[in-house]
A and B are shown apart, each in its own frame.
Chain A
């Protein structure tokens, strides 16, 4: 919310001196509905820490995984001893959690927690 408001203000304030900042803001509230894109998800990204936490939770709750070994940089096949089918399963679990659909080429490359976090964080549709 704050991010949307900030961008709306920055888009509409053209005064060279910001001394009268409060006055400009108060006049902005009247036109708020037309300038603020309330339905836009442009600034609505997930926080990186949230993404990390959720992905680590998914990996920890996988039945074949020892939860104490899971860190945000763990490699699924090398460190956790899973096989390629388990890898695909974890990627599918991530797809379900973040309501994404990951194409096959990208899914094949996701081999470790770090890559998964990067992918989800940079995906515009993650939620």
Chain B
């Protein structure tokens, strides 16, 4: 059932327009699986579907500045993988709540005021290996 969700088969988008279209397809697939996710992880008391939609949109928007279609394809592949993991219950409730529900105040990586005096180098270093 999880394999039915891997919608995009060919790895190469010809241009930015097609990559954009694929992003929107991914977003729609994610939104359509929200009811099932809320059912699997029992999130009814914690969050609304519209909040989850906004969170997914925010995650997509974080990478909205990218223009290389191959990079976009790679990001979509990772996103699809994440979505498949979530829908096939490979994650647990605290993962979902910690990563997608708890807002910007609670989430450690979004705490902007914590490391204000830290240098740019350190910030990039903490974020990822490649900068």
**Interface secondary structure of B, over-half rule:** helix
Per-position 1/0 for B7-28, Cβ under 8 A of A: 0000000000000100111011
A89/B53 in contact, CB under 8 A = yes
Give the contacting residue for B49; candidates A62, A86, A96, A101; CB below 8 A: A96
Given A61-B50, A96-B49, A85:B57 Cβ within 8 A:
yes
Q: Give bound CA distance, A62 to B23, whole Å.
A: 21
Given A61-B50, A89-B53, A104:B61 Cβ within 8 A:
no
Nearest A residue to B20 via CB reads A84
Q: Chain B nearest CB: distance from A92 CB in Å?
A: 4
**Interface secondary structure of A, over-half rule:** helix
Most buried by A among B27, B28, B54: B28
Q: How many residues of B contact A (CB 8 A)?
A: 17
Does B83 interact with chain A (Cβ within 8 Å)?
A: no
Give the contacting residue for A86; candidates B31, B35, B50, B57; CB below 8 A: B57
**Residues of A with C-beta under 8 A to B24:** 84-85, 88, 104
Chain B residues near A (Cβ < 8 Å): 20, 23-25, 27-28, 31-32, 35, 49-50, 53-54, 57, 60-61, 64
Chain A residues near B (Cβ < 8 Å): 61-63, 84-86, 88-89, 92-93, 95-96, 101, 104, 107
